[in-house]
Amino acid sequence: MKLLLQQIIQLAEQAGDAILEVYQRDIAAQGIHAKQDDSPLTDADLAAQQIISARLYQLTPDIPVLSEEAAATPWPERQHWQRFWLVDPLDGTKEFIKRNGEFTVNIALIEQGKPVLGVVHAPVLEKTWAALKGEGALVQHQGEQYRIHASKPKSGETVKVVGSRSHPSPELAGYLEQFECYEMVPVGSSLKFCLVAEGEAHVYPRFGPTMQWDTGAGHIVAEEAGATVAFDGLDDAPYHREQLLNPNFLVSAL
């Protein structure tokens, strides 16, 4: 599995290079159009999807793939999957279009409804977060790898709460009332999981919509760094279910 993790890190970085090629074009040449649900899609999403799908098939031809940019497999088939890849080839397409660099490539391996391997790669930051079940979480940046750990705020320290740039939520205000002193840290995509995993933020409450492929990779990175991830109303196998839309959830090092 450690070899597989390194292979997935390399794959995420290759997909990131393809995304950057599109990112560096003029916006009119990025192939931006709307999907059926009115969410944006670009040439970068499609290029990354093609690279990831082809390589995963080479590496693990017997493991199916569930991805945002591929046709959704019906639940009667998915419910029998014991293992599958959960992929968002470009998480944060809105951030990509805004050109703020806060978008990621997310690849997770799910077993028995739980993530056991996850990679989150931020192409603009040239930074990759990765985790393997039971092996902790790490960052790869500028040719170096190092371990990361979530951290609790010290007594009297300001609680850093990470939130979404593109999906502000009115429910968040009620949640924040419990803290005497807090600081909001807005960031896009699954970078929110990564900030908690690195100790750069303490908690990520999510009250807005997300899909399974938005959370699988960041989920295990945060957990293996020592944070907890809890979905409202779900058991300990949150990725074995018909509904692809996630309920609210909380990522916390508190």
Question: Is 117 annotated as contributing to ligand binding?
Answer: no
What is residue 245's DSSP assignment? B
Token pair for residue 103?
């978008």
- pTM comes to 0.93
Token pair for residue 147?
């371990």
pLDDT tens for the 254 residues of the chain, in order: 899 999 999 999 999 999 999 888 755 445 555 554 446 677 888 899 999 999 999 999 999 999 987 767 899 999 999 999 999 999 987 888 888 889 999 999 999 999 999 999 999 999 999 999 999 999 999 989 999 999 999 888 999 999 876 666 788 888 999 998 999 999 999 999 999 999 999 999 999 889 999 999 999 999 999 999 999 999 889 999 999 999 999 999 99
Question: Is 104 annotated as contributing to ligand binding?
Answer: no
CA distance 207 to 185: 16
Q: How long a stretch of residues is the chain? A: 254
Question: Is 88 annotated as contributing to ligand binding?
Answer: yes
Question: Is 37 annotated as contributing to ligand binding?
Answer: no
- Backbone φ and ψ of 139, nearest 5°: -120, 140
Question: Is 90 annotated as contributing to ligand binding?
Answer: yes
| CA-to-CA dists, residue 92 to 73, 95, 98, 103, angstroms | 23, 5, 10, 5
Question: Is 93 annotated as contributing to ligand binding?
Answer: yes
